[in-house]
A and B are shown apart, each in its own frame.
Chain A
Amino acid sequence: MPPGLRTEPVEQMSDFFSMGGYAFYIWGSYLAALILVGGEIALLVKRKNALKRHGLDTAGNRELDNDSHG
């Protein structure tokens, strides 16, 4: 095995998930990352959708205006 690699390959899933007793801290960190990134994307999509709704409304108004002018 080349130097600098894991000396013991991951054999037991339970060993992997226990992270040598640091499971809470390590998985907690990556869970926090997932929640924050997911949250940011969700908020952004929500903001975009609010825009679309608003856009449809103004498009509707414009149509009405065109009708009244016509």
Chain B
Amino acid sequence: MVPWFAIPAAILFLLGLYVGFFVAPTDFQQGEAYRIMFIHVPAAWMGMLLYVLMAFYAAIGWAFNARLASMMASALATTGAMFTLLALITGALWGKPTWGTYWAWDARMTSTLILLFLYIGFISLQAAIDDPKRADRAGAVLAIVGVINVPIIYFSVQWWNTLHQGATIRMMGKPTIAAPMLAALLIMLAACWLYAIAVVLYRLRVIIQEREQNASWLAHGAG
């Protein structure tokens, strides 16, 4: 099933980059610098959405003792952390030429950094506990408590007077960018989704096999 997502992801990445670099016009305010948007915005969205998904699966796994859901949460964590780190790096590289600084302790940037720490905390906590059941439970508590951070990131640009600009794409109303820019952004977002699905499904399979192996090794050792 993985190639069904991985191959379209690769095609859409290339298409999104083509539209983003060769079709979309130069921004009248930011010049070419805005082209970082095509990777920065999807990465930031993925970081937040994957966290919510991770917390959701962790909660299901905890509440219903559903081991597969817990394993799904573990599989999502690394990819979510990767996208969050990418959003922070590309954000810094975008901030320098437009704001004059790589980093500021602005509400959105700080809360996104906290998101990365939550992912790292979840991954390290699970890695530190040998018993998978206890690891899943401890991870679930952290993931669920941390989910409060996601709306804080999302609304930070409205709640506080931040250096970071407001939303360009809104649920309601027209987006405030040219059509090819929006097209490139949405294609890149779709590519990121497909990539995330492919990688997470692959990792889920590896995690399932790892746990089976550990269980059989334990049974073998005990017997």
Residues of A that sit less than 8 Å from B by CB: 4-7, 10, 16, 19-22, 24-26, 28-30, 32-33, 36-37, 39-41, 43-44, 47-48, 51, 54-55, 58, 61
Contacts and interface: CB of A to CB of B under 8 A. Distances in A.
B44 to A, nearest CB: 12
Most buried by A among B24, B26, B36, B96: B36
A32 B79 contact: no
Contacts of A40: 78-79, 82, 199
A16 B40 CA distance: 20
B25 interface: yes
B43 interface: yes
Given A33-B90, A36-B85, A54-B213, A25 B195 contact: no
21 contacts: A4-B180, A5-B23, A6-B23, A6-B25, A16-B21, A20-B26, A20-B32, A20-B33, A25-B96, A26-B35, A28-B93, A29-B89, A29-B90, A30-B39, A33-B86, A36-B86, A39-B82, A40-B78, A40-B82, A44-B199, A55-B213
Interface in B62-92: 78-79, 82, 85-86, 89-90
Contacts of B97: 22, 25
Interface of A is mostly: helix
A65 B203 CA distance: 31
Most buried by B among A30, A41, A48: A30
Contacts of B90: 29, 32-33
Contacts, number: 95
A29 B87 CA distance: 9
B209 A51 contact: yes
Interface in B10-27: 17, 21-26
Contacts of B178: 4
A28 B142 CA distance: 33
A19 B25 contact: no
A30 B184 CA distance: 14
A7 B203 CA distance: 44
